[in-house]
Amino acid sequence: MCGIAGAFSKKSIDKVAMQKATDTLLHRGPDAGGYYLDKSEKVFLGHRRLSIIDLSDTANQPMFSADGRYVMVYNGEIYNFNELRVKLPDQKWKTHSDTEVILELFAKYGVDSLAWLNGMFAIAIYDQQTNKLFICRDQIGIKPIFYYRDETDLIFGSELKVIKDALKQFSKEKKLEINKEAIPHFLHLGFIPEPLTIFQKVYKFPSAHYGIIDTVSGKLELHKYWSAEKHFLQSPITSETEAFGKYKDILFEVVQSQMISDVPLGTFLSGGIDSSLVTSVASKLATQKVKTFSIGFHENKYDESPYAEAIAKHLNTEHQTFKVSVNDILELIPSLLEVYGEPFADSSAFPTMLVSRLARQKVTVTLSGDGGDEMFQGYGMYTWAKRLQNPLLKTFRTPVYHITQMMGNRYKRGGDLI
């Protein structure tokens, strides 16, 4: 997990200030840091690196293209980067990193190359010849990019703290104000959906989009380069047997592509369907025992670690369980506020942070079961959020509530929700 930062200003940029803002991402990228300021002092790019593929200094960022025209910072991982190398048969590669592949593809094919990338990514590329800055986010929006924009400045980063720190450093007259428009969305969904954030003039860069900033005019143009509607369900599978076979093939292909790493790798294992499936496939593909990690609770009513331990035993993994108490969770609250930067109501953030701390002692990269519930519509909260938007429900929610309170516990909970 690396971190990127950047800025464009119609005035000059204070490089030292932006370096400090970039270094707020040190926890994301402890292995190396790099900074770029163009000759006009109007464009800055910063990077904090967590080395995963090609650990050499040559693969550090910002990285310049072979022709010297483009400079790039990037956070993420491209799983098909080796396959994409064939599109550049005459290229003399300096590294075996995915970063160089992205950059040289862009140098030759431009924005069309972005749709070829299979992975998770947040990319910023500056064209020193045309003075245009390109920003791109992956198709599903796994890797974050936040950006602040006003009449003179555009500041972006992997976390909100980059923007907050940058404004403090070189734009002291500009203060972030709470975005009241975002609060109802948070209360309704439990998170703040893109493009909104908790701050005015600060936005989540949209997934599956790239943006072009003309650093002469200051104009920002957003373009969509991918859509799920066009990519999926072009030829629906109606046979259950065929669907299971296809899913298995895809699952093995995906897990194998995400196990490419020059550093130790493991998996998070909760004992649920998704993480157990990923760990099972990883165990079949790995040449040695897979390291697995889970969180357990001293309080039995919260503890699901026996399920994870049963799966680990079945798969013969090198398993570690980290037992915590409710007080350990409560102590995390201040640090989680710092990590997320805005309201976020998913309680799984607590065990995720704890298991990440445990895993980092042994490995640098972990696979997890994240995404399974989204793919298979397993989260009832989305369905309920849609139901609760019904105007009739808003009109009659008070009498409905009182009726449910005379019924069983399940109905009472429903009444509380309404």
Active site residue 2: yes
Q: For residues 124 and 34, what is the distance between their CA atoms, to the nearest angstrom?
A: 14
CA atoms of 93 and 86, how far apart (whole Å)? 12
Q: Which two three-digit tokens encode residue 272?
A: 């649920």
Round to whole Å and give the CA distance between 251 and 341.
33
Residue type, 222: L
Judging by DSSP bridges, how do beta strands 153-157 and 146-149 pair with one another?
antiparallel
**Residue among 370, 165, 157 at smallest CA distance from 268:** 370
3-state SS, one letter per residue, for the chain: CCEEEEEEECCCCCHHHHHHHHHHHCCCCECEEEEEECCCCCEEEEEEECCCCCCCHHHCCCEECCCCCEEEEEEEEECCHHHHHHHCCCCCCCCCCHHHHHHHHHHHHHHHHHHHCCEEEEEEEEECCCCEEEEEECCCCCCCCEEEECCCEEEEECCHHHHHHHHHHHCCCCCCCECCCHHHHHHHHCCCCCCCCCECCEEECCCCEEEEEECCCCCEEEEECCCHHHHCCCCCCCCHHHHHHHHHHHHHHHHHHCCCCCCCEEEECCCCHHHHHHHHHHHHHCCCCCEEEEEEECCHHHCCHHHHHHHHHHHCCEEEEEEECHHHHHHHHHHHHHHHCCCCCCCCHHHHHHHHHHHHCCCCEEECCCCHHHHCCCCHHHHHHHHCCCHHHHHHHHHHHHHHCCCCHHHHHHHHHC
Cis peptide before 184 (omega within 30 of 0): no
Catalytic residue among 1, 2, 123, 269: 2
Give me the active site residues, please: 2
